Amino acid sequence: MASKNLISIEDLSRSEIESLFSDADDIRRFPGEFGNALAGKIVFTLFCQPSTRTRLSFESAAYRLGARVLSVCDMHSTRQPLGESLLDTTRMAGYYSDALVARHADHGVMEQIKGTLDVPLINAGEGLARHPTQTLIDLYTAREHFDTLDGLRVGLVGGLRYSRAVKSLLVGLGQFRDVELHAVDAASEADDGSPLPADLAAAARRPIHLHDSVQAMLGHVDLLYVVRVQREMFSDAALYQRQLDKCRVHRALLAKAPPWLAVMHCLPRTDELDTDVDPTPQNKYFLQAAYGVPLRMAVLRRYMTQPQGGGSGGSGGGGARGLAADALSRRAIDVLSNDELSLAW
């Protein structure tokens, strides 16, 4: 890899993204071969914001690679409430571990944190724009369903302007050719009235076609990427309900969709994605969550075994087998149904 840290999906080229996918394919196919990949190493997870899937899948990934985990997910259990700085805390975390996985609410904090560390830093979510490992999972899930990301028609649905997963995904999709973007955005009364904020347009680097409802967008997309409509951003309950209604995805709606449509959601969900979608073939969001373990195993293994200070060395790339280099071999990996999630990785 070009850097010892993973701060943004922009840190990865297309070839590096696809190499991590290759590693994840190998991990899913031969999980027993990776159980000691990080034996004797320690991963420190520092979550200054709440997390369920990201923190637990990182910790599961570390354990499955043979590493041990130190975890702080409640900042009140640290000395920060008594005035210790975040950077002093992360410096100590670097002394006590071989990699730091961190989440923080403020944009730009990761750049500061990496200056305190001699070990790799992996961004597990920062501010409203960066979530690189979630983007890797999202791209991998889409690739598993569609075989390719080139030419994909993506429909973004929900509170887009407040979602770091969406903004990071837009940047990641920029690595692929001929991707078409559509959107249904839930705007609150706090917004400036612009169709889409400048940071979303900047992340996309290609046109985003706006629609008034999911139903109006369905015929134009292959993939629905749904995110939560953030109730806390609305002071007007009636406006919230109107915005939610135009973003709601449910089974009756999907009956009008093309048969190849996939529905993804980075979770947690609320009322924007009905549970009646769960048993449908369009549901890819549980697999998406399950793929978090092998993808984050691939990331930890790659960043924790490459020579410190960068370079393209390390143990990634799938080894001599080169399994994922062969597209036919890669597609031999079963695309699992939702009742087989325990085998997804």
Asked if residue 143 is part of any domain, the answer here is yes
One domain, residues 204 and 245 = yes
One domain, residues 193 and 284 = yes
pLDDT of residue 306: 82
- 31: domain CATH number? 3.40.50.1370
The owner of tokens 């978090």 is 292
Q: For 127-163, what is each residue's pLDDT tens digit?
A: 989 999 999 999 999 999 999 999 999 999 999 988 9
Asked if residue 328 is part of any domain, the answer here is no
List the domain range (segments joined by +) for residue 197.
133-288
One domain, residues 156 and 260 = yes
One domain, residues 259 and 164 = yes
Asked if residue 118 is part of any domain, the answer here is yes
pLDDT of residue 332: 37
One domain, residues 93 and 153 = no
One domain, residues 177 and 212 = yes
Q: Which of 32, 34, 14, 28 is nearest to 329 (CA)?
A: 28
Query: Which of 126-140, 158-172, 204-218, 228-242 has the least mean pLDDT?
Result: 228-242
Average pLDDT over residues 64-81: 79
Contact status, residue 301 vs residue 316, Cβ threshold 8 Å: yes
Asked if residue 329 is part of any domain, the answer here is no
One domain, residues 154 and 175 = yes
One domain, residues 282 and 296 = no
* Rounded CA separation 313/249 (Å): 44
Asked if residue 4 is part of any domain, the answer here is no
Q: Which helix (H) or strand (E) holds 226?
A: strand 223-226
One domain, residues 151 and 277 = yes
Asked if residue 340 is part of any domain, the answer here is no
H-type helices in the chain, by residue range? 14-29, 53-64, 86-95, 109-114, 132-146, 164-173, 198-204, 214-217, 237-247, 251-254, 285-290, 292-305, 327-331
Could you say which of 256, 288, 320 is where a domain stops? 288
One domain, residues 201 and 59 = no
One domain, residues 221 and 121 = no
DSSP conformation class of 307: P
Number of domains in the chain: 2
pLDDT reading at 243 higher than 50: yes
pLDDT reading at 258 higher than 70: yes
Average pLDDT over residues 241-268: 93
pTM: 0.86
One domain, residues 121 and 265 = no
